[in-house]
A and B are shown apart, each in its own frame.
Chain A
């Protein structure tokens, strides 16, 4: 046995909390786990730890020390980082070159502890939760150009690369996105980056009729004006089961927080924004409504609040994330009424729904599924019944997923039970 290998074997033996600092170390530790059949809890900074089932594992592999930028080429529009690199740090680096992660990684920090925490690059890829631009630019998975990682046998593997067009073998970057660390322990990810638009404005329309809101969403999707965000925030329910958050979450000079509102964002240079607002005003017949316009600074804060779920800051209730075909948004709104606190993103396709612990989650889930959608239970209340499945999956897909899982991790060591009870 090589000295390095021996050392890692000893580390594995002695500690339950493993913090590798190199890919080789990750590989050696996993080889050891494979040999000894030890399940491992794979995680980054734990900012999204509460999503999914609790992992029952003797050893935990913490990737927060495996961090740092490996290569950043602004002109090639990519950044290659180690998995423990904080998203916040990546965004700061990109900002200096007027670039960004245009998929707007969802910030779960407010939900968990009332302040921003976007977690690590590895966590962001593993969870695949994209923000408001999703319907326009794609999800996290659309921005992963390639990765390196270690499979369940301890083998170092890679897929993809640094170029946007790449059809060389299966696109494993997609498969790894949203796999919650159950397939590969990531050691390196290459993210596609985009130029930041010079300016933005957000138009607020004060309206709450489900039919009108649904029509507005449809107009956004049918418009050629490149609208890059469209949300609806209804009135907050009066029930004491919800801690009022709305006025705090959207505290902006030009936004009237009383009552419901619809909002959409336009980005680009200022002339183009003006031209498009004029065109959209005709398309949507905006003069019919009470409206207001958020300038670049307010607009920026507004979408930060949306993409960090500040409406549900530190809630003790259940939080559901439902994705439906956008044409079903009206039916969904009519069902949700003011019984639940919710808001709609992705121009009618994404619903964030807060369900108090004592209310029946099944009824909400069934409605989502009846409307051809899928649902993830993101946060669980204290009295959450674990008989309820956290992720939606049908039997055929479960069977296929299980086979794929085995092809990466034959002994089922990575985050066992995190997504499904079967594996």
Chain B
């Protein structure tokens, strides 16, 4: 496993483990408190599996009151708390700490209210993203954000990471699709933000909580907006001979005033990998493949595809295939959606990056990634949510080779630094977690980060809720770059830690 600086372990807390576990059993059913090694082992990592760490204990509360009691207790006793949804996060946001309670929201798994009159669903946070759509599809509705892990990821986790998906180009990310939350602050205070109304008055606390990576409160209920299914959905597969042509086509489609429901780009490596894996029928002569999906009325979709075809031809496309039916459309997507397992079949491990760039820099970043691939002597396959400039390079490596893992991490960090240089962001939808924490200094200076930490400290003055995530462990951004230390041995013990 990889090693990363974590907040200093409070040995006093660790030594009081039995007492803490017994205390926790007062607040919820005994069976919901796990402390034996074989019980807590499954919680040692999230989907960023390169990092593992055991929690002090795991507690799985069943209702908001229990969450409140647990947090109140931890606040009083100075015990750190790591909230966790389904554990599908890719930035290590739910990585446990040895002196922290892992608070799992898995038992919050019920949909509470389906309100078709107000076009919303009130749900507990442990409900999966896709099951919200399943609950409303009989009346022709769906929940718009669709992260690739939607089958498994929880809606509470989506709020924490502000998850997007392939359709966020037109429909926005989680923050644009939720109406309210109930959350519990670190001191146990239960707070309702928003409800079934659009917007809320006063400070936009909903906007603050969304994407706050579990640092400000524990979400115990979410109200999401649901949308009516579009009348027509069609997709086109468009092949290009060069990266530049594909990149220019993305920019031209957007500049022509077309907002596709989704617009994805795959490079040659990913086309080859996925074609071998699922046989989606992708054109093998393309250097770059674009999937464009449009939705709306039939005549509008047909008209816009005519325009897109012209734009693609202007950009030297060498193939254009429009889906004739729903089966074919889903077939087009099958390759893109199999990108992760396809890469898994090509190498023992892969490392999925997540950065954003202005759309116009697409070919520039692809060239830079290709240069870095040679520099680090590691293979890479690129999938992009091209419409909103969100890229997911998949670096192929062998995790059992420590040196290769080190090169992989550096390669990844260099990609993200390039994104920031080109005017983009360190993360489009996976969050910062522990993975990109030290890179925050690339995008923000001391003042920016200090302001964010001040907000955190105003709501969690003891820094007990998910500490060690998002913000650089080394306070001063002059201490730039990724921190590698041996576990438990921090480099600068005298610097303040957040």
Contact = CB atoms under 8 A, between A and B. Distances in A.
B28 to A, nearest CB: 23
Nearest to B201: A374
Interface in B382-398: 385, 388-390
B497 interface: no
A403 interface: yes
Interface string B153-172: 00000000110100011001
Interface string B258-277: 11000000000000000000
Interface in A323-355: 323-327, 346, 349-350
A174 B448 CA distance: 16
A267 to B, nearest CB: 11
Given A138-B176, A164-B389, A376-B201, A76 B451 contact: no
A224 B175 contact: no
B135 interface: no
A163 B428 CA distance: 9
Contacts of A158: 444, 448
B385 A165 contact: yes
B119 interface: yes
Contacts of B429: 165, 167
A179 interface: yes
Given A142-B176, A404-B458, A161 B423 contact: yes
Interface string A62-99: 00000000000111110000000000000000000011
B299 A271 contact: yes
B278 interface: no
B134 to A, nearest CB: 19
B197 A168 contact: no
A83 to B, nearest CB: 18
A62 B357 CA distance: 35
Given A272-B303, A407-B458, A169 B357 contact: no
Among A170, A271, A403, residue most surrounded by chain B Cβ atoms (within 10 Å): A170
B5 to A, nearest CB: 19
B344 interface: no
A376 B201 CA distance: 8
B428 A179 contact: no
A142 B498 CA distance: 30
Given A397-B193, A403-B459, A167 B357 contact: no
Interface in B443-484: 443-444, 447-452, 454-455, 457-459, 470-471
Contact of B440 (A76, A169, A225): A169
Contacts of A258: none
B104 interface: no
B358 A163 contact: yes
Nearest to A398: B202
Contacts of B231: 224-225, 279
B175 A327 contact: no
Given A138-B176, A155-B450, A171-B207, A406 B458 contact: yes
A194 B257 CA distance: 8
Q: Interface size for chain B: under 10, 10 to 19, 20 to 34, or 35 or more residues?
A: 35 or more
B451 A374 contact: no
B428 A171 contact: no
Contacts of B300: 268-269, 271-272, 275
A325 B205 contact: no
B214 interface: no
Contacts of A166: 356, 425, 427-428
B123 to A, nearest CB: 17
A151 B298 CA distance: 50
A208 B423 CA distance: 52
Contacts of A312: none
A196 B255 CA distance: 11
Interface in A187-227: 194-196, 218, 221-226
Interface residues of A, number: 86
Contact of A408 (B212, B358, B454, B470): B454
A128 B199 contact: yes
Interface string A376-409: 1000000000000001111011011101111110
Contact of B205 (A76, A167, A225, A401): A401
A226 B205 CA distance: 29
Contacts of B444: 158, 168-169
A407 B173 CA distance: 27
B303 A396 contact: no
Contacts of A327: 115, 117-118
Interface string B174-203: 011000000001000111110111111111
Nearest to B225: A135
B175 A174 contact: yes
A168 B117 contact: no
Interface of A: 73-77, 98-99, 128, 130, 134-135, 138-139, 141-142, 151, 155-159, 161-175, 177-179, 183, 194-196, 218, 221-226, 268-269, 271-272, 275-276, 279, 323-327, 346, 349-350, 372-374, 376, 391-394, 396-397, 399-401, 403-408, 419-420
16 contacts: A74-B255, A163-B389, A163-B425, A168-B432, A168-B443, A171-B210, A175-B204, A195-B256, A222-B228, A226-B296, A268-B296, A275-B299, A376-B201, A397-B191, A401-B203, A407-B457
Interface of B: 115-119, 140, 161-162, 164, 168-169, 172-173, 175-176, 185, 189-193, 195-208, 210-213, 216, 228-231, 251, 254-259, 296-300, 303, 356-360, 385, 388-390, 423-432, 436, 440, 443-444, 447-452, 454-455, 457-459, 470-471
